[in-house]
Chain A
Amino acid sequence: MRQVRAQGGRAAWPVALGLAGILCQVGFVFLIARLLATILGFPGGGFGELAAAGALALLGAALSMTQEMAQQAAGERARASIRAALFTRLMELGPADPRGVGEKATLLVDRVEALDGFFARWVPAAALAILGPAAVILIVAQFDGTSALVLAVMGLLVPVAMALTGIGAAVESRKQLDVLGRLSGRFVDRLRGLSTLVQFNRAEDEARALGAAADEFRQRTLRVLRVAFLSSAALELLAGFTLGYLAWRHGMLLAPQVTDPTPALFCILAVPVFFLPLRNFSQAYHEAMSARGAAAELAPLLEAPAATGLLLEEVPPRVALVFDKVELTYPGMDRPALPRLTFALAPGETLMLVGPSGAGKSSVLRLLMGFAAPSAGRIAINGEDVTRLKPAELRRLSAYVGQRAHLFGGTIRENIRLARPDATDAEVQRAAESARVMAFAAHLPQGLDTEVGEGGFGLSGGQAQRVALARAFLRDSPLVLLDEPTASLDPGTEAEVMEAIARLCTGRTAIIATHSPQLMGLSGRVIELAGQRRVEQHVG
């Protein structure tokens, strides 16, 4: 919320414009009151006043237009800076963050958009709700002190009524946001697995369950609104009462001794002008409530300290690696994902990690990628403790291919170039050939420039994996980390790719996690991570 508040100072300009607009309206209704008095037979205005009122109306229109645009701009700037900070934070947290993709996307897109109402409308509306009515009271006081007093009292009652109804609404609103988050997560989850639901003929059941969840959401939302709408009803009651009282006062009590009805009419006509900023405030209040909910979700992320650590001056050409009694236990798990591992790798050496799934092969690679920090023990690269480096800096040392390669929206060429943005087309082409991407890309309509969708739809798992390998080739880093690089390849392609991997590993320090022990013509060390504690070493 602090981050959110810091953006609030940008509202000064919209507020000034809004106040000028309110003064225009006051002038407009004053002229109307005079003209009305004239119609009722009292000496006063004429067509001159009518023209002046028209001019004021035009001026007011120009002011309100400018105000809207200024508010929009303030909201834009605030959202852009918060979104960028949030994204940076999520990237720093990396895979260690337990939130799902859907949830993160909701935070980045919808929650930040929900803040718009806060900056664009709530902040100026809140300021104008004080300044506007105050200005009206001061002007009305020049004509009739009692009327001004009534307006002042009613104006003060508005925040009281809103606070009374708003406190209940705040509690409910938090609950409602929780449900919304779960509902959205559920939708995303089910839509991603649509084909699985269809296979088991459960799409219809799921549709019904979604309907029930939406129903729950509706009931909760209505519970919030029942209270929230009370505040607008209270506002109507106060406005109606003010109008009724002033009408009675000026129409009945003061009427007999009046010589000029202009002040009386002005007092009545000023009531809608008085309540308009309060109405806007009340509308924006609900936006602020939902923004507050969103801000509460964003605050822990935005306020967390940024990742620290040393920067890497340059990528060393060769890497020696030491694991000393390294252990990794994920939070909430009672057994370690990687139990005490010790080994040392000389520069240029290749290490193959074999063993059943769950033995901790991937964990070794994740530690070296800075996706997780060791819970015990020490990892050293060229003699330096890696935990002292900023994780992003640690990653500059390595080329990494995970188990599930992701293809980003864009062409195959762009996907390969991700690993090294300054690479030339020729270098990308060479990498694509080395990873046997060309074997299938050559048959695609646009070759390497074929668009591949999010999640790599259109390419098979094996093809996606080869694109990821091409990235590793292009990256040209001293450390190569491969997690089951050939898991989804067929034997023919596998042999070809293995030969390419052998070339990739030459002269580089490499760690390859694999199931297939016959890995494959590669020379190097083999460590078998078996079961819980046993670590055997072979030379392959």
Chain B
Amino acid sequence: MWADLNRVLKLWGTRRKALAWGLVIGMLSALSGVALLALAGKGVAAGAGGIGLVGVSALIWLRPVVLIRPLLRWWERMASHAAAFQALADTRVWFFRRLAERMPAGIGLRGSGDLLGRVISDVEALDRLYLGGLMPAAAALAVVAAIALLLGAEPVLMLLLVLPLGLALILPLVLAPAAARAAQRAADERGGLRAAAVDPVTGLEDTLAANAEGRALARLQRADATLMAAQREVSVRSAAAGTAGTLLTQVAVLAALGWGLLTGSAGAAMAVLALFLAIAAAEALGLMPRAGALMAGAAASARRLFEAADTKPPVEEPANPAPLPTGNDLVLSHVTFGWRADAAPVLEGLDLTLKAGERVAILGPSGAGKSSLAALLLKFAAPQSGVIRLGGTDIQDLASAELRQRIVCLSQNARLFDVSIAENLRLAAPGAPDAALWRALAKAGVAEFVRSLPEGLETRCGEGGTRFSGGEARRIALARALLPPAAILILDEPTVGLDAEAERAFMATLATATEGRSLLIITHELTGAEPLDRVLRLAGGNLLPATG
């Protein structure tokens, strides 16, 4: 738990100053609260006990504190929240970057519902570390230290107070590991609930088609019940910790009174001060035991975030990338690759040469490993053995970003984002003029459709292009792949969802659309209109010249 929290604090390093500032103001604010009650109590006790002069000075000091206290309190909350939000925004962006680096091929078997749940709720839960953990801890520490200082003249009395209050301060550290485990379970179950909600919603049509709404609801309710059981355990622990904290401060109050009863009038002034300090400490320390549970929750979130962020990158970036070669010949020799260690490799000892400017089609049944080939060429995955060379340089030695400028792939799961068509296209070519966008759309055979839309290029696509039919969305994605001037173009099932006529027309325009580029078409079927130099068939993990 502490290791995870420590790592979060390191991530927040650049915000150290703002975070520390929040802590300082928090301490001042807590001390002002103690001063308020201690002065008021002293004033009344002194007045009633006939020690008039001390009472008057206490009551005079009380006035500015009454005014400063709310000010400090407001300032504390603003400063601490501002710092926490900044740190959180940093974490969010850091996490996105890490995922882009570690899971470039996208979010896999883990279930995107679960992973997305991590990002959104876990990152937000991290604010508890600072606001719910560090802030109360700093305030409580300041209060206990102040009490120890003020009662220094009476060591026995000081110990009687500082021991229970100190215990209330340390209690969260003692309770945290068990609370962390409970919070981890609750966070896992929340992920489970999200998966149970996302799955039937993503496959909405299939759920409805099977009349499976009732079963999906039952699954959701089961996940809900499990989550709540886990949350209940967290809240039992947190309630127990809170109650223990209250009891400990009450012990300190009773201890001060007991000491006063035993010492009699000689220690009356000290006993009164101690009593009011103990009562005032209750507010700051009362939050402390809960802070442990909150910190534990933050630690659980942090662990889940780091677990996803620490996935091994599929391909290591070279420390000193080789310069991008001038040649564009692509050569694969003896490449063997499988996604899972426990299954047979999908590519086995595969050899392929794609000369610059050559147009080659690779045919093969679904699941034969055609898409794996594209993933290897883009360095989304690395072969278990064998070498892939671009212009004579092993692509292992090339920077992925540069390689991906040279090789562009329209993959089967290319996604349209929920922004305008123009913005989606400009992902591939930032700053491209509208004319270039229209040219690409025309090449993909979708310009007419886009022109017919009331908002044209500015039409929003919806999440995953859902505002358009499958064929239209696919063609817009195709236009995007055609935009950048990449030397090598990989089209992975480019015409899925297109009708035969459009497919033929598209393939026929490829000759001009891809002029001067190498072209690798991965498909299960040819229309006969493709401008191809060679056709290969992928079977048994290797390529054979296609007959006929």
Contact = CB atoms under 8 A, between A and B. Distances in A.
A175 B362 CA distance: 52
Contacts of B67: 237, 240
Contacts of B282: 272
A53 B247 CA distance: 12
8 contacts: A108-B220, A218-B89, A250-B48, A356-B499, A395-B209, A461-B412, A492-B365, A517-B500
A490 B525 contact: yes
Interface string B260-286: 110011001001100100010011000
A334 B243 CA distance: 64
Contact of A80 (B55, B82, B225, B401): B225
Q: Which of B66, B101, B404 has the most CB of A within 10 A?
A: B66
A206 B417 CA distance: 12
Contacts of A400: 205, 209
Interface stretch (B3-11, B229-237, B528-536): B229-237
A418 B210 contact: yes
Interface string B356-378: 00000001111110010000001
B44 A251 contact: yes
Contacts of A492: 365
Interface stretch (A87-95, A136-144, A500-508): A87-95
Contact of A233 (B71, B110, B213): B71
A84 B220 contact: yes
Q: What secondary structure prevails in chain A residues at the interface with B?
A: helix
Interface in B465-509: 466, 469-472, 480, 484, 493, 496-503
B47 interface: yes
Nearest to B232: A72
A482 to B, nearest CB: 11
Q: Which 7 A-B pairs have the closest CB atoms?
A: A462-B366, A406-B203, A357-B471, A193-B415, A261-B48, A490-B524, A251-B47
A200 B368 CA distance: 26
Contact of B104 (A191, A195, A460, A487): A195
Contact of B66 (A186, A189, A244): A244
Contacts of B344: 443
B333 interface: no
A399 to B, nearest CB: 7
B74 A463 contact: no
Nearest to B207: A91
Interface stretch (B141-149, B188-196, B434-442): B188-196
Contacts of B194: 105, 109
A316 interface: no
Interface residues of B, number: 170
A418 B254 CA distance: 65
Contact of B261 (A47, A194, A463): A47
Contacts of A35: 257, 260-261
Given A32-B257, A272-B283, A404-B470, 10 more contacts: A65-B240, A106-B120, A207-B97, A221-B81, A222-B85, A235-B70, A243-B36, A243-B62, A493-B366, A515-B499
A20 interface: no
A187 B119 contact: yes
Contacts of B49: 40-41, 261
A389 interface: no
B66 A240 contact: yes
Contact of B217 (A54, A87, A186): A87
Nearest to B470: A403
Contacts of B86: 218
Contacts of B58: 251
Q: What secondary structure prevails in chain B residues at the interface with A?
A: helix
B43 interface: yes
A60 B242 CA distance: 12
Interface in B56-110: 56, 58-59, 62-63, 65-67, 69-71, 73-74, 77-78, 81-82, 85-86, 88-90, 92-93, 96-97, 99-101, 103-110
B515 interface: no
A204 B40 CA distance: 58
Contacts of B66: 237, 240-241, 243-244
A203 B100 contact: yes
A209 to B, nearest CB: 9
A205 B419 CA distance: 15
B215 interface: yes
- Range of interface residues on A (Cβ < 8 Å): 35 or more
B347 interface: no
Q: Which of A79, A356, A515 has the most CB of B within 10 A?
A: A515
A321 to B, nearest CB: 17
Contact of B221 (A50, A80, A392): A80
Interface string B28-53: 00000000110111011111111010
A446 B275 CA distance: 70
B279 A104 contact: no
Interface string B216-255: 1100110011001001100110111011001100110110
A247 B62 contact: yes
A222 B22 CA distance: 15
A69 interface: yes
B215 A244 contact: no
B106 A194 contact: yes
B343 interface: yes
Interface in A424-461: 440, 443-445, 451, 453-455, 457-461
A518 to B, nearest CB: 9
A482 B417 CA distance: 28
A199 B404 contact: yes
B418 interface: yes
A539 B375 CA distance: 45
A38 B37 CA distance: 20
Contacts of B108: 453, 457-458
B202 interface: yes
A413 interface: no
A381 interface: no
B499 A233 contact: no
Contacts of A451: 109
A173 interface: no
A272 B250 CA distance: 14
Contacts of B43: 247-248, 251-252
Nearest to A214: B89
Interface in B408-452: 408-409, 411-418, 427-428, 430, 449
Contacts of B107: 191-192, 194
A195 B268 contact: no
Nearest to B369: A460
B310 interface: no
Given A255-B55, A261-B48, A454-B112, A409 B367 contact: no
Interface in A94-124: 94-95, 100-102, 104-106, 108-110, 113
A251 B96 contact: no
A517 B81 CA distance: 63
Given A233-B73, A418-B206, A461-B366, A210 B93 contact: yes
Given A194-B100, A357-B497, A36 B199 contact: no
Contacts of A443: 343-344
Contact of A65 (B121, B210, B243, B464): B243
Interface in B149-165: none
Interface in A199-241: 199-208, 210-211, 214-215, 217-218, 221-222, 225-226, 229-230, 232-237, 240-241
B85 to A, nearest CB: 4
Interface string A60-83: 110011001100110010011001
Given A68-B235, A460-B367, A488-B366, A236 B69 contact: yes
Contacts of B50: 255
A408 B199 contact: yes
A184 interface: yes
Nearest to B415: A193
A129 interface: no
Contacts of A461: 366, 412, 493, 496
B220 A50 contact: no
Nearest to A265: B44
